[in-house]
């Protein structure tokens, strides 16, 4: 049998996705609450926002690393740690006031040793940019030949301004694989690939996009994971057994399947029926919890993050260090859902003040705090989705762009107050969604039919932070846990027989080939392999999953039992169904199914050697494993 541990030596092939092992304490460092207040109080005066004594900047994580005073994972080798622990008061930092306490030093040490965690988008540098609230319809630049699509007109003008060469278009193979995985989360069946390659009509890509968006069963199966992550919905886990949490699975699946208008979708989540109330009910944690983790504050944090791209977690404890939101703002949203007067707590200490329900942007309207909770929620739902709330449409448009391109127009997606790399593009997409009556499928189709989406990926040598970022095209993306698992199940006919999600699944459309008619991983409980590949436990809102390969993933992919069992089932199925096929036909089917192409002569020879003569089940499993470990398989190019 092929020694799969050699895979560990091949990790660099997954370009840019390897990270060091990070030590994990029983409770990981919370940057917003453990670190940011300490940095602001003891370091910011001398090392942020334009004042950088000793050429050391704490503005951002990137700036701190560039200052070369921190060695990630090695606190004792880090100059900053040596300075805060120096017994010589003339060399110790900070130079003013009392030295850091033993508790603060311990936090600083753990912070470095745990990899210097830093909330995405957080900066101490004050920006002059103010994100607009109301919608804006930008004027479209004049078109150039081949760039008539509105998105391409905006992107082309951006490229010209920033002296970026127009990226080359994808070939049919790369486009086919990318669009199938992006829209329905599955690879095309071999016959679908062959049919698309033979077609010569100029609009075949646009028609394929429309066809895939019309496969509502496969579409809903795929996008269920996206919404489950964001809405904290799952089929098992904390709170479900004791009634402290409620599923919205059936309502959510039906809403995705039916392409419910996004404004209606959100209103039904905020002012819910019995089927959709699980999102705003949050999780009733057992025992005593921090004041910022009660149901009312969860509502405030979750609604603002998911629908507005605002991080109110910091402001749920004290005035935010991340942006301009205040403690009173977080509690004002929380009061909307409160069943009784809600006392404001600062850092878990009662302030002797009661919160009053109001909207984050009073200029868009008010909430009558004297109304019962159900009426307050109705008023809030209307304010969230009203046409003048441009933040609402920009936020979801940005999330979809990030899904299809690997990075949002505003980055990160939960910091919508940051300056976009193209204000015209994010404003245009937000207005377009509203003009299409909040039809998310139409917005997706609009993005997917652009030349910008159908371009080769930009290979970046390093991540460009903040305002230094220049868009050059789509970025390489890794398959999600569900995409990876579904591909294995599809090729090897190795999926489970029963769903965990309490959903009455619709029938497949008649045009769906047999290979794609199976139960998807989004509908079952996560196993250890899915977890290691990035599927979250959904106890918190998750809007983007980690995109870096971890050591645990490498071990699970090299010799994990779950993957081995899946490969064994797939090998047995393929050997049984191809017992009369030649090696060439069997190997070609594997390559067409996994990579949407036939093997090269060299690949064919290697595959035949793995299969053995006569074929063996272990040889077939090794062939599948070798193909599934290829960067070409694991990356969306």
Mean pLDDT across 516-520: 97
pTM of the entire structure? Answer: 0.88
Lowest mean pLDDT among 129-133, 163-167, 461-465, 618-622: 461-465
Residue 601 has pLDDT above 50, yes or no: yes
**Are 528 and 562 a contacting pair, CB within 8 Å?**
yes
Residue 347 has pLDDT above 70, yes or no: yes
Q: How far is CA 352 from the centre of its chain?
A: 39
Residue 502 has pLDDT above 50, yes or no: yes
Q: Which two tokens stand for residue 150?
A: 């509105």
Could you give the CA distance from residue 203 to residue 191 in angstroms, rounded to a whole number?
A: 20
Please, which pLDDT band fits residue 144 given cuts at 50, 70 and 90? Answer: very high
Q: Which residues of 459-475 are buried (b: 16+ CB within 10 A; e: fewer)?
A: ebeeebebeeeebbbbb
Cα–Cα distances (Å) from 85 to 77, 80, 297, in that order, read 12, 9, 37
Lowest mean pLDDT among 39-43, 345-349, 358-362: 39-43
Mean pLDDT across 313-317: 91
Residue 17 has pLDDT above 50, yes or no: no
Mean pLDDT across 503-508: 96
Could you give the CA distance from residue 172 to residue 251 in angstroms, rounded to a whole number?
A: 37
Could you give the CA distance from residue 592 to residue 296 in angstroms, rounded to a whole number?
A: 51
Q: How many helices (H) and strands (E) does the chain have?
A: 27, 4
Give pLDDT tens digits for 233-292. Answer: 999 999 998 899 999 999 999 999 999 999 999 999 999 999 999 999 999 998 888 999
Mean pLDDT across 407-418: 95
> What pLDDT score does 1 carry?
47
**Are 411 and 395 a contacting pair, CB within 8 Å?**
no
Mean pLDDT across 348-362: 96
> What pLDDT score does 119 carry?
77
Please, which pLDDT band fits residue 125 given cuts at 50, 70 and 90? Answer: confident
Give pLDDT tens digits for 176-209. Answer: 999 999 999 999 999 999 999 999 999 999 999 9
Coil, helix or strand for 7? helix
Residue 18 has pLDDT above 60, yes or no: no
Mean pLDDT across 69-98: 88
Residue 219 has pLDDT above 70, yes or no: yes
* Contact partners, residue 82, CB within 8 Å, separation at least 6: 76
Give pLDDT tens digits for 563-594. Answer: 999 999 999 999 999 999 999 999 999 999 99
* Contact partners, residue 193, CB within 8 Å, separation at least 6: 173, 176, 592, 596
> What pLDDT score does 126 carry?
67
Could you give the CA distance from residue 568 to residue 620 in angstroms, rounded to a whole number?
A: 8
> What pLDDT score does 124 carry?
78
Q: Which residues of 485-523 are buried (b: 16+ CB within 10 A; e: fewer)?
A: bbbbbbbbbbbeeebebebeeeebeeebeebbebbbbbb
Q: How buried is 107 (Cβ within 10 angstroms: 0-12 exposed, 13-18 middle, 19+ buried)?
A: middle
Give pLDDT tens digits for 536-564. Answer: 999 999 999 988 888 899 999 998 999 99
Lowest mean pLDDT among 5-14, 45-54, 136-145, 248-257: 5-14
């Amino acid at each position: 049998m092929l020694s799969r541990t050699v895979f560990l030596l091949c990790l660099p092939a997954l370009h840019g996705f390897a990270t060091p092992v990070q030590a994990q304490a029983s409770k990981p460092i919370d940057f917003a609450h453990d670190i940011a207040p300490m940095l602001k109080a003891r370091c910011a005066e001398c090392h942020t926002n334009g004042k950088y004594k000793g050429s050391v900047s704490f503005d951002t994580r990137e700036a701190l690393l560039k200052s070369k005073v921190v060695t990630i994972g090695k606190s004792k080798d880090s100059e900053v740690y040596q300075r805060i622990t120096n017994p010589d008061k003339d060399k110790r930092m900070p130079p003013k006031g009392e030295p850091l306490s033993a508790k603060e030093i311990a936090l600083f040490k753990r912070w470095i040793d745990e990899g210097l965690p830093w909330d995405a988008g957080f900066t101490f540098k004050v920006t002059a940019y103010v994100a607009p609230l109301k919608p804006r319809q930008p004027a479209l630049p004049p078109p150039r030949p081949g760039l008539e699509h509105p998105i391409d007109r905006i992107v082309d003008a951006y490229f010209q301004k920033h002296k970026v060469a127009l990226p080359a278009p994808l070939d049919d193979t790369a486009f086919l694989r990318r669009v199938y995985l992006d829209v329905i989360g599955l690879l095309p069946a071999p016959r679908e690939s062959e049919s698309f390659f033979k077609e010569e009509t100029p609009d075949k890509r646009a028609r394929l996009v429309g066809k895939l968006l019309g496969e509502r069963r496969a579409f809903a199966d795929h996008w269920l994971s996206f919404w489950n992550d964001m809405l904290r919905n799952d089929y098992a886990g904390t709170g479900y057994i004791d009634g402290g949490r409620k599923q919205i699975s059936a309502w959510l699946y039906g809403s995705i399947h039916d392409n419910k208008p996004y404004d209606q979708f959100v209103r039904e989540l905020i002012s819910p029926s019995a089927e959709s109330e699980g999102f705003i009910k949050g999780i009733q944690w057992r025992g005593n919890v921090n004041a910022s983790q009660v149901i009312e504050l969860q509502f405030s944090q979750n609604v603002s993050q998911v629908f507005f791209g605002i991080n109110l977690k910091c402001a749920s404890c004290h005035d935010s260090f991340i942006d301009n939101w205040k403690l009173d703002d977080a509690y004002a949203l929380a009061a909307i859902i409160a069943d009784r007067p809600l006392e404001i707590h600062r850092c878990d200490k009662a302030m002797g003040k009661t919160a009053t329900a109001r909207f984050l942007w009073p200029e868009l309207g008010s909430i009558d705090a004297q109304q019962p909770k159900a009426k307050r929620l109705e008023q809030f739902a209307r304010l969230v989705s009203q046409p003048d709330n441009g933040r609402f449409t920009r936020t979801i448009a940005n999330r979809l762009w990030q899904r299809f391109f690997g990075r949002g127009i505003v980055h990160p997606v939960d910091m919508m107050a940051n300056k976009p790399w193209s204000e015209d593009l994010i404003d245009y997409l937000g207005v377009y969604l509203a003009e299409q009556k909040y039809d998310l499928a139409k917005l997706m189709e609009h993005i997917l039919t652009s030349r910008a989406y159908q371009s080769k990926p930009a290979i970046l040598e390093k991540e460009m932070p903040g305002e230094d970022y220049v868009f050059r095209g789509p970025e390489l993306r890794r398959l999600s846990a569900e995409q990876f698992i579904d591909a294995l199940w599809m090729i090897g006919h190795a999926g489970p027989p029963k769903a965990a999600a309490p959903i009455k699944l619709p029938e497949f459309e008649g045009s769906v080939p047999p290979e794609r008619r199976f139960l998807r991983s989004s509908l079952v409980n996560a196993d250890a392999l899915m977890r290691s590949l990035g599927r979250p436990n959904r106890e918190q809102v998750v809007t983007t999953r980690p995109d870096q390969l971890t050591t645990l993933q490498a071990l699970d992919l090299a010799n994990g039992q779950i993957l081995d069992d899946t490969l064994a089932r797939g090998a047995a199925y393929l050997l049984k169904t191809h017992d009369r096929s030649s090696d060439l036909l069997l190997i070609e089917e594997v390559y067409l199914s996994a990579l949407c192409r036939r093997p090269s002569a060299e690949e064919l020879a290697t595959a035949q050697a793995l299969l053995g003569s006569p074929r063996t089940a272990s040889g077939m499993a090794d062939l599948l494993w070798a193909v599934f470990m290829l960067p070409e398989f694991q990356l969306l190019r």
